[in-house]
Structure 1
Amino acid sequence: MTEERKMLEPLLSVVSVALRVVIGVAALGFVLSLFVDGVHFGGLGRSVCVTSDGVSAGGAGLDAVFGPKAGVDVSSVPRYCATDPSVGQKFLQAGIALPPTILTLGGLWMLNGLLQGAAREGVYTARTASRLRVLGWWALAGSLIAAVTQAASRAVLLTTLASADGASLGNVWDIPLLPILVGLGLLTFARIVRAGIAMREDIEATI
């Protein structure tokens, strides 16, 4: 085992195995969804539903159903489901379900390529820094695009299931703070690696 590979363990092996397992499970789920009733791929194919977080109700009726203790209030948030969803509603459901999956699979693929390339070519190389930079942009821009896509799909889907005065999504967009920070961190480390490569090249040129 080379020094670079030793340096990258155990993350190198864990990511490599995780990527193979995730791809295998996804492929199996997709194939089964084509031929087996009741098996759905990526959360698709089920009844199209969306929760209206901006609306809630409470009262004695809910207390009787849920049995809260003294001094505890119970509220209910409506969940709208299409009994016979249209193609457009299924498309909007895909806009809610698929972005996190695509973001995770793409990130794992790029991280595996980064680690495998660093183990093969060396950690302090221009290609490693470039792969690190691409991964950083994927985490930063991808998480923002995924969040916006989910929020827009959820908002539009609700308008197809409930009247304008009957439901409100509330806060439809949760800012993906951690992925943004991870992406910024990866971009910063990519610049550090590039600076380290330039310094090493200058030292080697003067020797």
Structure 2
Amino acid sequence: MNTRLTSVLASVTFGLAILSGLAFLGTGVTHMLDDGAVCVETGFWANARLASDGLPVAKGVEAAGSVTRLCQNGPSVGQRAADLGGELPWLLFGALALLLFSRLLTTVLRQGPFTGAVAGRLSALGWFVAVGTPVAGLVVGWSQSWLVDSMAPVVGSGPTVSGPMVLVLAGLAGVILGKIMREGVRMREDLEGTI
């Protein structure tokens, strides 16, 4: 096992987790203090064109020529928070996943790769990725859906799940590998006890 490479990787992932956490906080604070317009993309009217009488949009909302981009000048606090819902869940998810991965690598360095603690950390990371991916995607989808509905109430499109859902498979693979490792550790301990 290359401990120097693992040590560097653990440090880099911890640093990236801290940077992602700071980006999460910074984005949240600066966006809530911003007084600019809030814009959202929608595919509901993707093939529509602006008619002379306009579209049924809320007061202060501007629609782009292709009607896929809506912008609210002077948004409410709820609209600004819903706009943040499109960015913050993935930043938080990334920061926490990197932190869990860094802890996994640190445990590998301290105790070795084939221990019960490493198997537990791998399973925890797997569960976090498997469950956190659809949760973050649902929060993003619901936030964007609510934001579109607040600007153009006629749309009526329901919340969607967005993001890379293939990560669920990666998370489940981590859970399975963690269980396999745990069984391997148990079998090794049983074997050492009989010798």
TM-score higher than 0.5 here? yes
What is the deviation of 1:124?
A: 1.3
**What SS class does the counterpart of residue 154 from structure 1 fall into?**
helix
**What SS class does the counterpart of residue 70 from structure 2 fall into?**
strand
Rate the CA distance shift 1:127–1:103 in 2: closer, same or farther, 3 A: same
- Work out the CA distance in 2 between the residues paired with 1:188 and 1:112: 19
Q: Which residue of 2 aligns with 1:193?
A: 181
TM-score normalised per structure 1: 0.73
- Do structure 1's residue 126 and structure 2's residue 116 form an aligned pair? yes
Rate the CA distance shift 1:169–1:52 in 2: closer, same or farther, 3 A: farther
Return the letter of the residue paired with 1:138.
F
- Do structure 1's residue 116 and structure 2's residue 111 form an aligned pair? no
Match of 1:23 among 18, 23, 30: 18
What is the deviation of 1:81?
A: 1.2
Please list the CA deviations of residues 130-172 of structure 1 after superposition, one character each: whole Å capped at 9, or x if unmatched.
Answer: 11111011101000100111111111111111131xx465883
Please list the CA deviations of residues 93-123 of structure 1 after superposition, one character each: whole Å capped at 9, or x if unmatched.
Answer: 1222111001100000000000011110111
- Do structure 1's residue 105 and structure 2's residue 95 form an aligned pair? yes
Q: Which residue of 1 aligns with 2:140?
A: 150
Q: Which residue of 2 aligns with 1:48?
A: 38
- Work out the CA distance in 1 between the residues paired with 2:110 and 2:26: 34
Rate the CA distance shift 1:47–1:22 in 2: closer, same or farther, 3 A: farther
What is the deviation of 1:82?
A: 1.2
Q: Which residue of 1 aligns with 2:61?
A: none
Match of 2:66 among 66, 76, 79: 76
Rate the CA distance shift 1:141–1:158 in 2: closer, same or farther, 3 A: same
- Give yes or no for contact 1:51–1:169 (8 Å, CA) kept in 2: no
- Work out the CA distance in 2 between the residues paired with 1:30 and 1:175: 21
Structure 2 segments unaligned to the other structure (5+ residues) = 50-64
Rate the CA distance shift 1:157–1:28 in 2: closer, same or farther, 3 A: closer
Structure 1 segments unaligned to the other structure (5+ residues) = 35-39, 60-74
- Give yes or no for contact 1:44–1:94 (8 Å, CA) kept in 2: no
- Work out the CA distance in 1 between the residues paired with 2:166 and 2:7: 22
- Give yes or no for contact 2:145–2:158 (8 Å, CA) kept in 1: no
What is the deviation of 1:174?
A: 3.6
What is the deviation of 1:203?
A: 1.1
Give the aligned length.
Answer: 179
Rate the CA distance shift 1:80–1:161 in 2: closer, same or farther, 3 A: same
- Give yes or no for contact 1:52–1:169 (8 Å, CA) kept in 2: no
Rate the CA distance shift 1:114–1:18 in 2: closer, same or farther, 3 A: closer
- Give yes or no for contact 1:15–1:108 (8 Å, CA) kept in 2: no
Q: Which residue of 2 aligns with 1:70?
A: none
Q: Which residue of 2 aligns with 1:179?
A: 167
Stretch deviating more after TM superposition (79-88 or 50-59): 50-59
Q: Percent identity?
A: 28
What is the deviation of 1:44?
A: 8.2
Match of 1:95 among 62, 66, 85: 85
